[in-house]
Structure formats: structure tokens, C-alpha cells
Amino acid sequence: MEAVEMNSVSLKRPRSEDDVANADEIKRQKISEKSKTGNDSGQSVETVTEQPDKCLLEDTKNEIIPNEESEEQEDEELEDSDEDGDPESFADMMKHGLTESDVGITKFVSSHKGFSGILKERYSDFVVHEIGKDGRVSHLDDFSVPVDDEVNFEDPSEETFTVLSDEDKKRLEELQLLKNKETSVAIEVIEDTKEKRTVIHQAVKSLFPGLETKTEDRDGKKYIIAYHAAGKKALANPRKHSWPKSRGSYCHFVLYKENKDTMDAINVLSKFLRVKPNIFSYMGTKDKRAITVQEIAVLRITAQRLAHLNKCLMNFKLGNFSYKNHPLKLGELQGNHFTVVLRNITGTDDQIEQAMHSLREIGFINYYGMQRFGTTAVPTYQIGRAILQNNWNEVIDLILKPRPGAEKGYLVKCREEWAKTKDPAAALKKLPVKRCVEGQLLRGLLKYGMKNVISAFGIIPRNNRLMYIHSYQSYVWNNMVSKRIEEYGLRAVPGDLTLKGATAVHIEEGDVDNYTIHDVVMPLPGFDVIYPKHKIGEAYKEMLVADNLDINNMRHKIRDYSLSGAYRKIIIRPQNVNWEVVAYDDPRIPLFTTDLDKLEGKTLPVLPTDGKFRALKMEFSLPPSTYATMAIREVLKMDTSIKNQTQLNTTWLR
């Protein structure tokens, strides 16, 4: 079967009317919270339930974050407010973004006629369940807390969260974070009973890691005295002795989250628990605009404390708690299971059947998805190419120069200032969001000067820096796989590469009948990789020569930027593929139940048999580092770029 050239039809509406309404409501909540707490510092405030006094942090939400983090909080709020801008501005910005063909995504492998549909009209139309290394799919289906044989102060009762007054909590918070010169805090026991004193001891030790307590008589009254056991050392490593030896050091739990990416979710959890984010571990990051379910592990935080967050946080639920002796590691998963609804589809029943059968039997081209390359007129792969070329002035220019298309106002002003003065201090003054890449780079230039650009660039977090060169690798791979499909179609040919264990070998003429297209891999350019022994091997060399790079020497003088090669299957065949076409009238109603719906006993509304609209509900499992959007693209036969989606939906956006 030959590859089919792409045609362009609408994939999704970038924002629904519900989104805009929700964004306005979130803004109102933030403004309301600030007015209640007297917060005029610009710090972001997490949305909570209707009884914030029972939550870990609500009465001290402005005090819990050390001063040096306030700038980061301001950044988060500014970024959030910009994301809630009107859709027409967003569409205008995307006019100068990338299309699929700009990053080498040009082929299809199926022969059916494409049709249109709306992806992620509601974020709840896209659900991801993590598949662990044992093949088990993560589900949130149990809120119960495991019971230990040993009892300790880490296991708080419900009363623990309400026994301390707001003033007590504020003083304890300041003591815990060493924000004043007090060496202890005295809490008077109003109703002096042993039970009451025990609850106060528990509350302090549970809610303020690093503090110890004792009981004292003062003027005939009982006081609980809180103090630091070992100063900063105790804060960094709270009360190891209080953790039962029979209990695993890590609490594993399932995190159900809505419309939030994994790192943002962990940052929220860490703030509410008063711990550093680096004590959390996970196997993979998950989409933001989706409902996702994944396993998380956290060091020496009890299930009781974690379970209490269910009463405090919106858009998160934690459950399926267990104690284990090990954290989780990135990449230790088999993949992800997707449940996706494509709304308002136009395909006939026959087209849909052909599309889904092809997805199940043949699969889709394993392209790197559009999110790999950025959304502005300056693609991330261009910056990666400049890094590999050791062209640091171009790296700085590409990141900081003005670019066509609408952008956040402060970024436009920052870029204009940089173009006019090349003064990092002046450009930085135009930038209230210092945590963005542009702000970090300008700070680096301010610190190290224009003659030490490499060190200045190094201030950007390592993962962000490596993202650029990985984007270039992905750009090359996408282009080369398109050429491979165009040249040889959907069959293994002599000179192709296949994997034997972890080693890539060439398919020889006499063995070609033993392989299918699903066995063929293509290299990501780097050192210590081999290339196909046919036209595509030469095409790799030509592409890198055109980019002024030596395919035989991908080692960079800065070790971090040396590209290690890898191999990637060119066709992925999803597992566990199922689908159903349903009719509906109201685009706001859900078309399947989530884990949380099931726990709360919610059922689906009765759907009409002859509704105004039709939706395609599909399920499939994919291995790590593959893109569900590329599978959906193959079904619909369309360009998935934001640029294309917004341009095709401008009437709706108005």
C-alpha cells in the first residue's frame, strides 16, 4: 500500500465557549481570593474547596512560600492570565506558526478518504491512563488509606487539621521556615486534657516538618512548646526517626488530574505539603489539556496527609495508596492507554470503519508531534541546529529577536528593546515574567556578559537546553522517514535497519522476506549510529551537510550538546484498539465515564439515537515516546498543527 499525501481539514477548535467561561471564572476566583487575604503581591493562589479552613495551608497561603520564590509565583500568574486571552489574538499569533509540512510531517499510510472531527473540544474528551512496566493500567478506584501496625505522629486524625488557630499556624510556619529569630512557639492548651494535648502535638509534628514539641507548665497553665530539633538540617530531612521501620519509605499513589501538566501538579502538591518538589518521582509526564491518571511516589509523606488533599484541591484526586521501598524512575513504563472522543465527525460509517481498521492493522507513521517544535515563527529545531553548529550568537538572536505574529505584550516589548539596544538589563526590565527562557537567558547575559554567551545560555535549565537539540533530531527524523515512505512505501527493503536486541543491523537482500515494515527502524542522528544502506542513508548526509554539520562527528566540544544517537520504529501499530460511533445533541455532555465519575457513582446521560451530531469514541494503547495526535491524524487525514486548526476555525472564533 502506498503512502497518501495529506489534505487539510479542521481538526479541533482551540478553545470552546466553556473554556472562555471557565477562564473568566478562574480569574474571578483569583481576584476574590486576593481580596479576602489582602494579597497584593501578585502571588498566585490555588483554588480550593468551600471549606478552606480545614486544608493544610489555606490560612497561611501567603506565608508558606519563602520570599525568594515570590517572583516565580508572579510569573505563574502572569503566564496564566495571558493564556486566558481572547481566542482571536491567539489565532492571529498562530498565523505565523508551523504547519506539519514545516517539520517533515507529510505522509499517510492508509488509503481511506479523510474526514473532519473536533479533538479536545472539552479537555475531558482526552483521557490518558499510564501503563506501568508490569503492564498494569493505572486507575483511580480506591480512596482508602492503608493501616499500619505501628502508630506514629505522621498519621494525623481529622482533628489535626483544625485544632490549631490561624495565628498559631502563622507563627509555626515562620518558625519552621526560619523566617524570624524566635527559637520556639508556645501554644496554650485551652481545654487541658491529655487527649487535647496529644492532638496538638500531632498537629504540629504532622503539619510542620522539622519541628519537635514538648509540654510545659507556665503560671499554672499548660503549653505545648514547638522548637527546631536541628535547625535547617531538620527542615531538609524531617524526623527520620518518626517513620516506622516496617513501612516502606515511599508512599506510592495514583494521581488523577484535569487540565494540568504533571510538573505543575507536583508543584501544587509540594506547596500544600510544605516540601520540595524533588521528593516526588514519576515514570512519565502527561498532557495538560486532558484528564490523566498516573502513578506518583513521594518520600516519607503519609497516605493520610496525601488523602487530606482531596478535600483541599480542585482538579486533582489522589488514591490507591501503598508504601514501597523504592521511588519511580522516568521511562519505567510500558506506555499509555488513550480514550479519545472526536466530536462532530463528518465521515460515513464506511470511512470510519476503514480508518479504524487501518489504524489497528497497519498503524501510523511514528512522527514526532507538533508540540516537539514550538508554536511561534522561530521553531525550536532552528535553535537546536545553531547549538550543534556552535553558532552561539545565532542561538541568542533566535531566542531574543522580534518575530512576526501576535505575542504576549511584555515579550514583544522585551524583544524590541533587545533589538534596539542589545542591553540585557534594559530588555529584562521590560519582562515581568523572569522565569521564561528569554528572562533566564537575559539574566545569564547580565551575569556573564556578551563575551561569555555559552555560560549565559547555561543558566537556562538543562532539560530546556537539551530540548532544542532533541527538537533538531526530531526534525531530521521526520523529514527522513517521509522520504523513506515516499521512496520505498510500506515494505521492508534491503538496506533498511532493524533491531536485534538493542543493536541495529541492516536487512540483507536474502533476508528481506523475513521482515515487515513494522520491523524497520530509522536512526536519530548522533554519534555511534549507523544509517540505512540505500538512498535514505545518503539523504541523511545531504541534509546535515546542508545544515553545516558533519554526520560522522556529532560530538560537541560541550559534552551536554553531543548528540547520542538512537533508533525509532517508523510505523507504530497501536494495541487494544476499540471504537464506537455515538449520536448526541448537546456538545457539553460527557460521552464516557472517567475514573472519578465511577467513584462518585455518576452515570452517562441517555444519548439520543438520532442526535444532531456524531462522535467517534476510540481507545488504543501506545508505547512511550509516541504521539496520540499522530495516530488521530492518520484516522482523520489532516494537519494537526495549531496554525492550521486556528486558521480553519476563524469564523467560529469570532
Residues 6 or more apart in contact with residue 403 via CB below 8 angstroms: 96, 376, 377, 378, 415
Catalytic residue, from 155, 287, 496, 547: name it.
287
Q: Which H helix or E strand runs over 222? A: strand 221-228
In whole angstroms, what is the distance from residue 452 CA to residue 91 CA? Answer: 38
Distance CA(472)–CA(465), nearest Å, equals: 12
Q: How many CB atoms lie within 10 A of CB 220?
A: 5
- Residues found in the chain: 654
Q: What is the distance, to the nearest Å, from the Cα of residue 436 to the centroid of all Cα atoms in its chain?
A: 16
Q: How far, rounded to the nearest angstrom, does the alpha carbon of residue 210 sit from its chain's CA centroid?
A: 31
Dihedral, CA of residue 633, residue 639, residue 642 and residue 647, to nearest 10: -140
State whether residue 564 is helix, strand or coil. strand
Question: What are the backbone angles phi and psi of residue 293, rounded to the nearest 5°?
Answer: -130, 120
d(CA 166, CA 172): 10
287 is catalytic: yes
C-alpha cell at 133: 512496566
Q: Supply 316's cell numbers.
A: 486533582
Closest residue by Cα to residue 324 from 300, 304, 293, 294:
300
Other CB atoms within 10 Å distance of the CB of residue 625: 13
547-553 contacts, C-beta under 8 A, 24 or more apart: 547/385, 547/389, 548/389, 549/385, 549/388, 549/389, 551/525, 553/527
Between β-strands 497-500 and 575-584, what pairing exists: parallel, antiparallel or unpaired?
Answer: unpaired
What are 507's three cell numbers? Answer: 536487512
What are the grid coordinates assigned to 112, written together?
481511506
List the alpha helices (DSSP H) in 378-436. Answer: 380-388, 392-400, 409-421, 424-429
Q: How many CB atoms lie within 10 A of CB 605?
A: 11
Supply φ then ψ for residue 50, to 5 degrees: -80, -5
459: CB partners within 8 A, 6+ apart: 440, 441, 443, 444, 447
State the sign of the Cα–Cα–Cα–Cα dihedral 278, 282, 284, 289.
Answer: negative
| H, E, C per residue of 243-257 | CCCCCCCEEEEEEEE
C-alpha cell of residue 207: 503539619
Q: Give catalytic residue positions.
A: 287
